[in-house]
Amino acid sequence: MTAVGDIWDDLFHGCAWSAYLDQAAADQGWPDSEATRRLAFRYYEEVLAEKNARTTSTSDQPKEQA
């Protein structure tokens, strides 16, 4: 990544930002750092699992004959 804006294109940083905002809303103020960290990793693992499931299901489909 070369530009500052690219950080938001990174999957983990997007999950971390979502976790920060969600935890801040839940805490009604500054979010607890440990709870935010755990939530960020949970979001990240969930997105990776969905992404891997899609990849696996599309690779399991038979190829169409031309």
Q: Which long-range contacts (CB under 8 A, 24 or more apart) does 6-14 make?
A: 11/44, 11/47, 11/48, 12/40, 12/44
Residue 28 amino acid letter:
Q
Q: Where are the domains of the chain?
A: 4-57
Look at the pTM and tell me if it is higher than 0.95.
no
CA 19 to CA 33: how far, in whole Å? 10
pLDDT tens, residue by residue, 30-56: 999 999 999 999 999 999 999 999 888
What mean pLDDT is reported for the chain? 87
